[in-house]
Amino acid sequence: MDEIALIKDQLEKAFYGGAWHGPSVMETLENVSPGKAALKPVINAHSIWEIVLHINTWHICIQKRISGNLYDPSPEEDWPEIKDYSPGAWDNAINNMKTSLQEVIDSLILLDEKILIENIRGKDYTYYTALHGLIQHDIYHAGQIAVLKKALM
């Protein structure tokens, strides 16, 4: 298996499931209602919903960067404000996060593996580092979501 395929596999496992470390992002989101997603059971912590929006932002950011675009999310984009707490808005947040990951994967599989050792345009780190960082980012936030879910029980 080539490195691009390995990275794709790890992105999918961290997000959808089958990773050795434990529950993925989507596995931790199982049975989370919009009402629970919006709550903040830990003082000075983000809600599950805010984390979902944040994960989506970083999927978008990395997709743009690996596609050659200079992009840094603004603070408002990094942690977007929730303006609509409806079930439909929660479903949209989840679907947008899934779509943005698929866009990363679609961009990733178009890359020549040789580019992985090159720096991302405008950054002091490589494509390889950015893509593995995204995997780590999803796993980190899956852990936060799991803790918040336990706090809501």
Residue by residue, DSSP assigns the chain as --HHHHHHHHHHHHHHS--TTS--HHHHTTT--HHHHH---STT---HHHHHHHHHHHHHHHHHHHTT------HHHHSPPP---SHHHHHHHHHHHHHHHHHHHHHHTTS-GGGGGSBPTTSSSBHHHHHHHHHHHHHHHHHHHHHHHHHH-
Per-residue pLDDT of the chain (153 residues; tens, 9 = 90+): 699 999 999 999 999 999 888 999 999 999 999 999 999 999 999 999 999 999 999 999 999 999 999 999 999 999 999 999 999 999 999 999 999 999 999 999 999 999 999 999 999 999 999 999 999 999 999 999 999 999 998
State the pTM of this model. Answer: 0.95
Q: Domains in the chain and their CATH numbers?
A: 3-152 (1.20.120.450)
